[in-house]
Amino acid sequence: MAITPLNALRVSSHQIPAYKGIPNTSIQGKPLMIYHAVFPSASAPQIKAHLRAVGVVSPQWEYSMFAETHFHSTTHEVLSIASGSAKCCFGGEKNEGRLEPVLEKGDVVIVPAGVGHRLLEDYGGFQMVGSYPTGKSWDMCYGREGEEGKVRAIKDLGWFEKDPIYGDDGPSLKA
């Protein structure tokens, strides 16, 4: 399976300000990154095989994105779009600093712990491979009262030692 060569990869990086109980990128300062068209013709099984071969993250599910804004406090997340397209929201739908990209088959999103995300509109057949750093477990947070301790713990999470897609070299290592 071919992936887009690193020297031809288009990457979007976004700092998203905290909004109410959603910390977004405010704690670690690591940006949300979209790697555009990394896997232009790959199927979900091929994406999973590539991720396992790189060995940074472990694919854990294949699904759409939840329609309720949520974030993870225990781990960063790598979302690889396996089919379809959709408009998603990162940062909280009422946050003036939010990001609302249309994600398409082949895109990969590096979602730092604390960044709120949700599905806004599925344009047809939207499915992702959800992956997390090997050995990490994910939780579900919603920016609600009582989650403050989980939010504070984000500061102690390590970042990727290798890029989840490109290994020893890649955009996430320069974040």
d(CA 99, CA 91): 7
pLDDT, tens digit, for every residue of 15-69?
999 999 999 999 999 999 999 999 999 999 999 999 999 999 999 999 999 999 9
Domain spans, the chain: 6-148
Cβ neighbours around 162 below 10 Å, total? 16
The kind and range of the H/E element at 44 are: helix 44-54
Residue bearing tokens 């909004």: 19
Instruction: Report the top-level CATH class of 6-148.
Output: mainly beta
Give me the pLDDT at residue 1, please: 79
Kindly report, residue by residue over 69-121, the tens digit of the pLDDT: 999 999 999 999 999 999 999 999 999 999 999 999 999 999 999 999 999 99
The pTM for the full model equals 0.97
